[in-house]
Amino acid sequence: MGQENCTIVTEFILLGLSDVPELRVFLSLLFLLIYGVTFLANLGMIALIWVSSRLHTPMYFFLSHLCFVDFCCSTTILPKMLYNILNKERTISFLGCMVQFYLFCTFAMTDIFLLAVMAYDRFLAICNPLLYMVSMSQNLRMVLVSGCYLCATVCSLICLSLVLEIPSYRSNVINQFFCDLPPLLSLACSDVTMNELMVFIMATSNEVMTIVIILTSYLFIVITILRIRSTEGRRKAFSTCASHLTAIIVFHGTVLFTYCRPGSGNSVDTDKVASVFYTVVIPMLNPLIYSLRNKDVKEALRKVLSSKIFS
């Protein structure tokens, strides 16, 4: 790339999902609805866990943090996305872009680590139920959650440093609806082969580590469930894990597709669809998956609503 085409960027232009004017109103209403559901579902789940003594268990402690992280992840992306859809100017300052990328990266990685911790929690609950509350003590819960946030923060700082060391860009137009690492690296004038390799290694190692924890936990869970003689006992044990498994498959599937593959030859439109899933759709779906498939949550919600209505 010729040096004359390179420049120091002070702001970026986010192209968004579509440049068709006729879709602007439809997309704005769609994503406004999604954000509204995300806002109510995640904060509603956190509030329900907080007020319902029935849900004061380790599983729902981790779920409340997952809902918090999902809400923050969505809030990092959607308000700016909606603003850009409704306005012709789709600019974001260099500082704003870096802040958005760092926050998104932190919350997304925290999500990855939390799902692994929740798998370990299900392993203890099903494979060692008599000692579950002792094993998963409050101190251990705090250590595990703090570890998730800390590891995510460190990884995000590494990713941020990989972007900040880029001296100049050949263009300030990002063909994406938010500031993400792959499109930023693709605009660099300098050789970013090592940067891309670092991203691939870190993303893959985090995915492999968390997936190994999840698969190992569920291997022991399945073995334990198959030893249960009663059909009702098996059904109840499987139902407690179904919500978590659904969230894992959807989230890790899109993350693996987007980050854990070589950068060359990727379809931009395909990447955008995958990005919509893990930045917008999944934060909305997670609390719905856990509430619609969980008898404890539905019973706690029914109890809280009935107490408010008849009080």
What is the 3-class SS of the chain, one letter each residue? CCHHHCECCCEEEECCCCCCHHHHHHHHHHHHHHHHHHHHHHHHHHHHHHHCHHHCCHHHHHHHHHHHHHHHHHHHHHHHHHHHHHCCCCEEEHHHHHHHHHHHHHHHHHHHHHHHHHHHHHHHHHHCHHHHHHHCCHHHHHHHHHHHHHHHHHHHHHHHHHHHCCCCECCCEECCCCCCHHHHHHCECCCCHHHHHHHHHHHHHHHHHHHHHHHHHHHHHHHHHHCCCCHHHHHHHHHHHHHHHHHHHHHHHHHHHHHCCCCCCCCHHHHHHHHHHHHHHHHHHHHHHHHHCCHHHHHHHHHHHHHHHCC
What is the reported pLDDT for 1?
44
Q: How far apart are CA 179 and CA 89, in angstroms?
A: 16
Structure tokens that stand for 112 in this block: 């990855």
Euclidean distance between the first and the last CA atom of the chain, given in angstroms as a whole number: 70
For residue 108, which of 280, 309, 263 has the smallest C-alpha distance?
A: 280
Beta bridge partners of 272: none
Could you give the C-alpha distances from 125 to 199, 221, 225, 251, in angstroms and in order? 35, 9, 12, 23
For residue 102, which of 184, 24, 3, 190 has the smallest C-alpha distance?
A: 184
Q: How far apart are CA 77 and CA 264, in angstroms?
A: 25
pTM: 0.88
Sequence-separated (6 or more) residues with CB below 8 Å from residue 257? 274
What is the reported pLDDT for 288?
83
pLDDT tens per residue, the chain (311 residues)? Answer: 445 578 888 999 998 887 777 788 888 999 999 999 999 999 999 999 999 888 899 989 999 999 999 999 999 999 999 998 888 778 999 999 999 999 999 999 999 999 999 999 989 988 888 888 888 999 999 999 999 999 999 999 999 999 999 988 998 999 889 998 888 988 998 888 898 888 888 888 988 899 999 999 989 988 888 887 777 767 766 766 777 777 788 777 777 776 666 554 456 677 788 788 888 888 898 888 877 667 788 888 888 887 766 65
What's the CA dihedral at 287, 75, 281, 142 to 10 degrees?
Answer: -40
Q: How far apart are CA 251 and CA 211, in angstroms?
A: 12
